[in-house]
Structure 1
Amino acid sequence: MECRGESRLVYFTVERSDHCEAALFRTDTPADEVKELFRAAAEAGPGDVLKLYTADGRLVNISPSIPSNTPDTCYNLQVVAAHCNGMLLDEVGIDLLALEQRVARLEKQIRMEFEELPPVVQDLKHQVDSFRKKLETTEHLSWLGFYKELPPPLSTEACRRLQYRRKSEEEKRRVRDKFFSICDVAVSEEVRHYLRQPTFDCHQWEDEEILLLLQQMYVDLDLTTKFGIELPTLRSFLYEVYKNYNEVPFHNFRHCFCVAQMMYSMVWCVKLPSKIGDLETLILLTSCICHDLDHPGYNNIYQRQQKKSIKRSPQLTVVETEARAFGPVTFVMSLKFLVAFQEFFKQSDAEKLEGLPVTPFMDREKITKPSSQCSFIGFVLLPLFEALGELFTELQDLIVQPVRDALDHYRRLNEAAKDERLHR
């Protein structure tokens, strides 16, 4: 007999409204249908981004498993990013979607009626190609052509070893289509303000929405205008970055966003462009986004040891990846995702299976989270944060003190764990 889900009754208000509405659905309802239910309630368009918040401002995932509540504890439904076409139509009388459709129809008609493009269109195409070439060969803008230079996927045995870490083609297409369908939406002022805080939580944001937020960082810092970055070029670049992060437990696309977002919050806090310049700010933000591209989930120690092992055991294959250095920018962001063990333990397990030396701080039989965090925060993270705090005193309360508090917290946990072991 077919099992059916339970009924779920959820009360919520739509932003800027005090009227409490109710949504009734079953817990086995497809997630997309639940999202469309809330989309209809907010009178939002298909490309708008919705978020659901509790009364105290916590983000709730819009899914069939939304916790039930009462009219006294209404959630708040907000359109945090809305398509700008309606605003253009209202304010300046331009229907952007209609204009785009007209251009597409005109291009199709020209190609149907002429074997060759008319001279005026050929001239326009030549100008565009010349501008693109100039853009991608100008020294301080040449990074924009980076997405065209990414190495092709491996076709050797190493590729077979990596396949389980690669995103599927279907998943990449899905995210690409969704991102390009929402990339013109206007992000709300509340989210733009929250994005500048070190406490920003990306847990409930989808990958395509995270791409939108990365785009917003460039726009809000005015980097697109100052460096003549075309939005379509920026979007293609950001998508290629997303596509080339692997599905590994920690060094994945969300980690790249956390790194970039923490740097972004510091940029705003200390007014960094006025201190180091716009070009250096552009380089910093882009470096954060790209810093772990194609990370395989294993560190350099493992890869070097495995490479040596191949000389002894030809039947083993090695995943060849470029050596990566952990720079200060990476450590500045690491507190956001101290998740410091699934990836570590996976590596130490592989080292044991392949007869390689086991990396001590990754051995699940010897390490605990509190002891590991005490070492990492005390010897690596805190000294870097304190150095930053001396240089930019505005960061003392923003990031330095929270790191000290975190170290105290893990020290207490570590001492408690030691006491527990002694009394066993």
Structure 2
Amino acid sequence: MGSASSSGYVPKVIYLQKGSVPHKVMFSKHCRPSDIKELLCTTVGLSRNTLIMLMDQNNAIISIDPTMPTNAPSSPYRVVPLSGRQLTVNDLKTEIACRLAALEMRVELEGLKMVEIEKCKNDLKTLKDELTLGNRSNTSCKHAILEEPIKLTLQRDVPKYPKYTLSQETIEALKKPTFDVWHWEYNEMLSCLEYMYHDLGLVHEFNMNPFILKRWLLSIQENYRNNPFHNFRHCFCVTQMMYGMIYLCDLQEKLSLTDLVILMTGAICHDLDHPGYNNAYQINARTELAVRYNDISPLENHHCAVAFQILSQPECNIFANVDPEIFKRIRQGIIKLILATDMARHGEILDTFKPKVATFDFLNEEHIISLKMLLIKCCDISNEVRPTEVADPWVDCLLEEYFTQSDREKSEGLPVAPFMDRDKVTKPTAQIGFIKFVLIPTFETLMTLFPQIEEAMVQPLRDSRDRYEELKQINDAMNELRKKTENIPLGWQKK
């Protein structure tokens, strides 16, 4: 047998209370829990098959496995035989919690090994392709488009992504449109998104590696830019509303898990790498995106491309264990939903859905696709459904992004949309028309199929419309008064 010094092997060392003297016990980190239990029994003079429990100086139960914490000779563990002693519920809970923690650590370590193996395979394939291509001639194209670099290498890894245990209050709040999205940091939002995938049964159904799910969510977050409006918080906002819709409309009973994963993943990815300037600017300015996608929904096409670039990385591919045919359906579904978020297609999507409502069939694939497109549209523009204190800051964020774009359009001599011009728009005027002619008709159309959304979603929109109309009346009256005051001759003013 080789010595420890020659092999670099360091055994695990713990100390047991045996009589009045601590007794040193050593074992390998590769030992099975059953082997360690037998070793502990024989050390303290018990039969090898004796049921035992290991406790520290504070009477806390220590999990008997290779990951157990080490101790010092001054605080030895006690081996307590269980024969003749009844385990309490708390003892069992503690034991189960310890075993789950050890199992979770092992799963993460195994997941990391698998990810590294897949990365190596991918790198080798890339290298092989490059060698195969060799020195083939590189034909230059006058209108060649260089790819924008996407952040496929994470700036931080899962160990720096804290795991939050959500309270029951938070879990219930996540299912409601009233959820306040402003109270959460990015890591907390990531934990909430992770919980949603577990809660809906998507992780189990599609055999997602929990470690890779974390990596994927991190990559998603890092590929949202720090725009005033189209940022990761907006992504979370839309996805949380979709999660709430699934519960409010009882979609778990009506749609397949494949449909649900399309809805949730489409919502998370729908604005990836948004540059903060809309399609009109992209097309008018003839940007690289507009040229690449022939002026057809350039932003939405870009969001889709980034989403699947991220999924193409082995360390972020949450669908790695999915059957190719099912993945094909998931991919097509996600693309349809993201492209549906182009507001230029709003009327078309609404008009396609309306005739289906009276005879809607949840077994009809065409009906389901139309419903999913309407659902992501509703979630994407749902801020005014939320309480005023949650919705109001979003209007400021959107106007800031609009004004930045219109200022740039003016400086570049491009057309400026009136609703984005800081010299022509106020919060009430910006919102009244959008709520009356876009939001309310859209949600009322969905309400014909799901009447339960009226109280939770449609009525808040009507209240918001009334509030902005009152604000407009007040603003108009103040402007009128200001004009009259300005027209008073100076000699009439009180001295």
TM-score class, shorter-chain normalisation, is 0.5 to 0.7
In structure 2, the partner of 1:202 is: 181
Which ranges in structure 2 are unaligned for 5 or more consecutive residues?
1-89, 123-144, 289-297, 303-338, 344-372, 385-390, 483-495
Structure 1's 401 and 102: CA in aligned 2 closer, same or farther, altered over 3 A? Answer: closer
SS of corresponding position for 1:199: coil
The code of the aligned residue for 2:96 comes to V
Q: CA deviation at 1:158?
A: 9.3
Question: Which one of 463, 482, 485 corresponds to residue 405 of structure 1?
Answer: 463
In structure 2, the partner of 1:178 is: 160
- Which one has the largest radius of gyration? 2
In structure 2, the partner of 1:259 is: 238
Query: Does the 8 Å CA contact 1:298/1:347 hold for their aligned counterparts?
Result: yes
Distance 1:419 1:363 in 2: 22
SS of corresponding position for 2:464: helix
Structure 1's 348 and 87: CA in aligned 2 closer, same or farther, altered over 3 A? Answer: farther
Q: TM-score, normalised by structure 2?
A: 0.50
Q: CA deviation at 1:423?
A: 2.2
Q: What is the alpha-carbon root mean square deviation over aligned residues?
A: 3.8
Distance 2:425 2:208 in 1: 47
Q: Per-residue CA shift, 1:129-148, capped at 9, x if unaligned? A: 7xx99xxxxxxxxxxxxxxx
Query: Does the 8 Å CA contact 1:175/1:207 hold for their aligned counterparts?
Result: no
Question: Which one of 358, 362, 383 corresponds to residue 334 of structure 1?
Answer: 383
In structure 1, the partner of 2:453 is: 395
In structure 2, the partner of 1:211 is: 190
The code of the aligned residue for 1:353 comes to S
Alignment partner of 1:239 is 2:218: yes
Q: CA deviation at 1:88?
A: 9.3
The code of the aligned residue for 1:92 comes to I
Query: Does the 8 Å CA contact 1:198/1:262 hold for their aligned counterparts?
Result: yes
Distance 2:114 2:155 in 1: 28
SS of corresponding position for 1:274: helix
In structure 1, the partner of 2:170 is: 191
Q: CA deviation at 1:261?
A: 0.6
In structure 2, the partner of 1:90 is: 94
Query: Does the 8 Å CA contact 1:88/1:95 hold for their aligned counterparts?
Result: no
Q: Per-residue CA shift, 1:266-289, capped at 9, x if unaligned? A: 111121121222211111111111
Question: Which one of 252, 257, 274 corresponds to residue 273 of structure 1?
Answer: 252
Distance 1:105 1:174 in 2: 17
Q: CA deviation at 1:226?
A: 2.1
Which ranges in structure 1 are unaligned for 5 or more consecutive residues?
1-85, 108-123, 134-155, 310-319
The code of the aligned residue for 2:445 comes to A
The code of the aligned residue for 2:186 comes to D
The code of the aligned residue for 1:352 comes to K
SS of corresponding position for 2:183: coil
SS of corresponding position for 1:376: helix
The code of the aligned residue for 1:347 comes to Q
SS of corresponding position for 2:192: helix
Structure 1's 87 and 355: CA in aligned 2 closer, same or farther, altered over 3 A? Answer: farther
Structure 1's 246 and 330: CA in aligned 2 closer, same or farther, altered over 3 A? Answer: farther
Percent identical among aligned pairs is 40
Q: CA deviation at 1:96?
A: 5.1
The code of the aligned residue for 1:178 comes to K
Q: TM-score, normalised by structure 1?
A: 0.58
Query: Does the 8 Å CA contact 2:175/2:240 hold for their aligned counterparts?
Result: yes
Structure 1's 413 and 95: CA in aligned 2 closer, same or farther, altered over 3 A? Answer: same
Distance 1:203 1:87 in 2: 40
SS of corresponding position for 2:261: helix
Aligned ranges 1:14-413 → 2 under 5 Å: 90-92=94-96, 94-95=98-99, 173=155, 177-179=159-161, 181-182=162-163, 185-307=164-286, 322=301, 325-326=342-343, 328=374, 329-332=376-379, 333-335=382-384, 336=391, 337-338=394-395, 339-413=397-471
Distance 1:100 1:278 in 2: 25
Distance 2:189 2:275 in 1: 22
